[in-house]
Amino acid sequence: MADNYRRYQSRSVKKAERKKTRRNVLIWTVIIAGIAVAAVIFVLLFHRNTADELKKLSYPRKYSEYVDKAARDYNLQPALIYAVIRTESGFNPEAQSGVGAMGIMQVMPETFDWLMDQRGETGKYTRDDLLNPAVCIDYGSYLLRYFYDYYGIEQAAVAAYNAGFVVGEWLENPEYSPDGKTLTVIPYPETSDYVDKVEDAKEQYIKLYY
């Protein structure tokens, strides 16, 4: 009788130990799985954040005080102004093109004079003032807003910033614009490439900052 009891007790102890072992294994499995999931999430977030930080180096927001002011003054998206600056000069305030455009937003001196007349500020600045980022961003953004109001849509405004009022002729040509508002074809390869670059950069700025 005593032997039977001892054998029964031994089996009960072993059964309890096996159950305890299985429970411990299950607990550790859950813990390890949780750690693995947390590690994967951390790596993904770290990688994404690192990638975004590295990308921001290619899409900076220099001269933000001037850009933000111009965006408020002329009801433009900051991302659009940054995109134009990046495409025009790569944020170089002393940039000058072969055709004579000057400054961080590459405004032509003749256009600068015309804009001053439009704003009732004739003679307020000299052409060299275009090399001042505060002035160039203000007038460049004003010109962008002017074209935006003139043509009604961003695509045409950006195209006109590069090519001028010839955009109106393109909009009147059904081969380029079936609806007279949107350009499905931009006949100047340089302007077509320019519009694509500005729109792509704008999307990147929105994705990274806004």
Residues classed as catalytic: 88
Residue with tokens 């977030």: 45
Residue with tokens 């953004």: 141
How many other C-beta atoms lie within 10 A of the C-beta of residue 209? 13
Q: Quote the CA–CA distance of 82 and 178 in Å, as a whole number.
A: 30
Token couple for 178: 């079936």
Token couple for 186: 């931009």
Q: What is the sign, positive or negative, of the torsion defined by CA atoms of 52, 55, 59, 64?
A: positive
Q: Quote the CA–CA distance of 166 and 164 in Å, as a whole number.
A: 6
Q: Quote the CA–CA distance of 131 and 63 in Å, as a whole number.
A: 13
Q: How far is CA 200 from CA 60, 100, 106, 143, 151, in A?
A: 14, 26, 19, 21, 21
